[in-house]
Amino acid sequence: MDLDTLCTKQQISFYSHVEPDIRFNVYGDPQIEGDAKIQREPTTGKYDLLINDYYLHHVYKSTITAFKPHYVVTMGDIFSSQWVKHEEYYKRIERFKWISHRIDNQNRTINSSHKYIFMAGNHDIGYGEETRAYHINRFVKNFGTLNRKWSLNINGREHRIAILNAMNLDKSRIEQYRIDAWDFVRELAADHIRHPDVPLILFLHIPLYKPNGVCISSSKTIYRDGFVRYQDYLSPETSAYLLHCLAPTLVFNGHDHDGCTAVHTVSPNASIPVALDTSSNRQLVSASDLCSLTLAELDAYQPQVEAFALGTMISVASTNATNTNSSWSTIEITVRSAMGEYGGVTGIFDISSDSSSQVSAAHAGLHAFGRNVKVTANGHIYQYREVPFGYHIVIRALVITNIVSCIVIPALLLLCS
C-alpha cells in the first residue's frame, strides 16, 4: 500500500462525519539541517540529510495529497539554525521547496489550490536577544511577513486568522522589533473590541505560559543582559494579555517538539486587586485594566502584572477538561514536530459548520483524547487530529531491508548459481 492510500484510509477513519468548510494542514518545526551536519559527520552526514529530506517530503506530500487542505502552515523553525550563512541559507530554501511539495523533482513549480503559510521560529530569526535585521529581512523576503491577518467567511460566519511573531514579544535587544510585534497585538485587541463576536484563530511559534506538569516541557526562560536568550513559553504577563485582550478561540503553536493540548480558563476579574502604584492608587482589577496598559507600563509593573496573570489564568491539559459542558477562554494546541524522531506528525485542523452549536467560545463543548481535540462553539465544529507518518528508525530499517532484498540477495543468488 502506498503512502497516499494509507493517508486516505486514515482520513476516512478520522473525518467521515463531515466534509470541513476549511482545512489547515499544520507542520511543526522541521528544522532542516545542512552543511554543519556534514562537517560534524563527514561519513554519514550526507546520507542522513538525504534520508531526512525524503522523509519530510513524504510527510508533506502524502498528507497534502490525501487531506487536500486549503492552507498548509509550517509552524516555524524551518531550518536548524538562525546563524547559517547566506549561501547555505539559499541552498536550504531550494531543498525546502521540494520537501514542502512546492516544486517537483525537475524543479518545476507545482500548481496547487492551497495557500502556503510560513511562520518564524527561534531557529529562523532568533530569540529576542539574538534577532538582527538580516534575520528578519531574509525571512520576510523568502517566506512572507512576520505578522499578518485575514478573514474567512465560513458559511456566513466571519473568522479572523492571525499569524503573530512570538520571538520578539518578550524582552528583545532591538526594541523596534518588539514594538512592531506589540503594535500588531494592539491591532488584534482593537479588532476584538470592535467585533467581539468574530472568532480569532491565532498562530504563533512559542507556546503560552503554563505551569509545570500540563505539558511535557517545563517553563524555563534564560536572559542575557536582560533580554530573552531562551524560552520554552512566553512570559505569564504576555500570555495573559493575549488571552484577556484578544480572546482567541484557539491558539496554535510549535516550538515544543513533543506537542501538547491545553485549556486556559481566564477569569475576567482578579479575586484580589493587584496594586500597581500606591502613590496613585492604580490597581489591576479586571481584564480591561490589563488591556489598557502600554508596553512601557507592562514592563514597569512587570511583577504586579505577572501576579495578576497568575491569579486570573488556570491552565490544564485538555484531557483533564473533557466534560462536554466545560467552559474556557481558549484551547491551545502545540503541534508535535514533523521530524522523524517524533513520528513525522501532521496536524489536521478542520472548521465545519454546525447550526446546533451557537454558543460562544467561552461556553462550549470540548472532547479531547490525547492530542486530538474536538470543540463545538460559534456555530461551528473545530477539530484537530494528529496523523503520524512513522518513526525515522523504522523507516530507515525498511529502506535498508529493501536495499538488501532488491540488490544484495539477488547478487548472492547470482554468485551461487
Q: What is the CATH number of the domain that holds 165?
A: 3.60.21.10
Task: Round to whole Å and give the CA distance between 143 and 364.
Answer: 35
235 with 313: CB under 8 angstroms? no
CA 86 to chain centre: 26
332 with 382: CB under 8 angstroms? no
What's the number of CA atoms in the CB half-sphere (13 Å) around residue 180? 16
C-alpha grid cell, residue 370? 490525547
pTM: 0.88
- Crossing angle (nearest 10°) for helices 45-67 and 86-99: 40
Q: Which helix (H) or strand (E) holds 348?
A: strand 346-353
Helices (H), 165-294: 175-194, 236-241, 287-291
C-alpha grid cell, residue 198? 468574530
> How many domains, in total, are found in the chain?
1
C-alpha grid cell, residue 299? 514592563
**Phi then psi for 381, rounded to 5 degrees?**
-110, 125
Question: Domain range holding 345?
Answer: 3-416
Helices (H) and strands (E) in the chain, counts: 13, 18
**Beta strand 330-334 with 372-377: parallel, antiparallel or unpaired?**
unpaired
Number of other CB atoms surrounding residue 196 within 10 Å: 9
265, 386, 399: which is closest to 332 by C-alpha?
265
pLDDT in tens, the chain (417 residues): 343 433 333 333 444 445 799 999 999 999 999 999 999 998 899 999 999 999 999 999 999 999 999 999 999 999 999 999 999 999 999 999 999 999 999 899 999 999 999 999 999 999 999 999 999 999 999 999 999 999 999 988 999 999 999 999 999 999 999 999 999 999 999 999 999 999 999 999 999 999 999 998 888 999 999 999 999 999 999 999 999 999 999 999 999 999 999 999 888 887 778 888 777 778 888 889 999 999 999 999 999 999 999 988 888 887 766 544 444 579 999 999 999 999 999 999 999 987 665 544 444 456 666 678 888 888 888 999 999 987 555 555 555 555 555 665 566 656 665
